[in-house]
Chains A and B, each alone.
Chain A
Amino acid sequence: MNGAYKERIINGIIKENPTFILVLGMCPTLAVTTSAINGIGMGLSTCAVLILSNLIISLLRNTIPDQVRIPGYIVVIASLVTVVELILRAYIPALYDALGLYIPLIVVNCIILGRAEAYASKATPLLAACDGLGMGLGFTIALTLIGIFRELIGAGTLFGLHVMPAGYQPVAIFVRAPGAFIVLGILIAVLNGLHIKNNSSKKVEGCAGDCCSCGKEACGDRKEEQRIEG
């Protein structure tokens, strides 16, 4: 039994890493990773929401009627996000200011609803919580990694400390919007080059991981194809 829990956690961090392998939740991934510390903050906030939402949804899995499960999940997730938001505002105001609107937007993070639908609604509470922990940590690690690259190149610092030699001229574009796309593009290209399979090449055909709502709805493109075929 112990092994199953461990397996869930490792699965989330490595085998099904939400950012690099599943390519989910792109908006916060690109928006808040201007520094490593922001990446960690966003990752851990999402992780907390993910663990609790998986746990609660798993506990409620036999209570929520199937037809209204998506609105039900959204209410659970939105309540948890509000709690996290208030806690951050009260105790870590600096992080709250840095992340801004992206904290309430955790609600629409595809990973959370995706895990609720794909895993938590079918698993026992403890396993679901472990799954949330694994996915959350995987997300945190990915965000921190992107944050480290962007902060190092764009500002010459790491977690706020100067690490680059004094003569280093920071490439400011990396902490701005274009840098986010470039760093993620390079990281995924490296993974592709190493032949680590991710869903990006497959998904890009249909939905590039817009799984927010994808619960059962296929994405626009795919549906259109079906309609043409049908």
Chain B
Amino acid sequence: MSEMVLLLIGAALVNNVVLSQFYGLCPFLGVSKQVKTAASMGLAVIFVITIASAVASLIYDFVLTPLDLQFLQTIVFILVIAGLVQFVEMFLKKSSPALYQALGVYLPLITTNCAVLGVALQNVQNEYNFVSSVVNGIGTSVGFTIAIVIMAGIRERNENNNIIGPLKGMPIVLFTAALMAIAFNGFSGLI
């Protein structure tokens, strides 16, 4: 049990997916203008990564390994993720319109969020079993959500600041991310 807690904290804070491993940077930089949209994006990511890491782990253990096809993992995982996202979108639309309203726009974007594929491949590389894979998935995606919500909060404040010319736009966002990454480095002594 304590192992799982450590894995969860490790994935969420110590090896934060965005700030120390650079997975999923595109939505992190792109959809972080407002706290509200950032939070919805984070929620959608938690949803998809958790399901995707569970499904990818099952497929790897029960389809690819018995058939000795591990080298096909990249192709299989990306197709599974793309199909899964489509399926989740259709399912939510039918069964829970409220949730679909909140997450709908973000779901198609997540297909190629490298964090999803990254976590699935990471689980395989570290030889996690099913439960560890799911825990790692949850931890990673929660870490993503924490990072993107903090980022959005800072950017909302930055909006009113007088930023000198060349730093406007992308550079100031990158510097903010750098400061956040330094702060998150502080977690490295936690485990």
Contact = CB atoms under 8 A, between A and B. Distances in A.
Contacts of A212: 26, 109, 111-114
Interface string A206-227: 1111111100010111011001
B163 to A, nearest CB: 11
Contacts, number: 174
Interface string A30-50: 110000000000000000000
Contact of B169 (A75, A178, A192, A224): A192
Contacts of B19: 177
Interface string A2-38: 0000000000000000000001001100110000000
A99 interface: no
Interface residues of B, number: 56
Interface residues of A, number: 57
Interface string B78-112: 11001000000000000000000000011011111
Interface string A58-74: 00000000000001001
Interface stretch (A103-111, A130-138, A153-161, A162-170): A103-111
Q: Which secondary structure dominates where chain A touches chain B?
A: helix
B63 interface: no
Given A82-B72, A178-B179, A105 B79 contact: no
A203 B125 CA distance: 34
Given A177-B20, A185-B178, A220-B37, A208 B170 contact: yes
A182 interface: yes
Interface stretch (B5-13, B47-55, B115-123, B127-135): B115-123
Nearest to B175: A185
Interface of A: 23, 26-27, 30-31, 71, 74-75, 78-79, 81-82, 85-86, 101, 104-105, 107-108, 110, 113, 173, 176-182, 184-186, 188-190, 192-193, 200-201, 203-213, 217, 219-221, 223-224, 227
Nearest 4 pairs of A and B residues by beta carbon: A212-B112, A185-B174, A210-B26, A201-B169
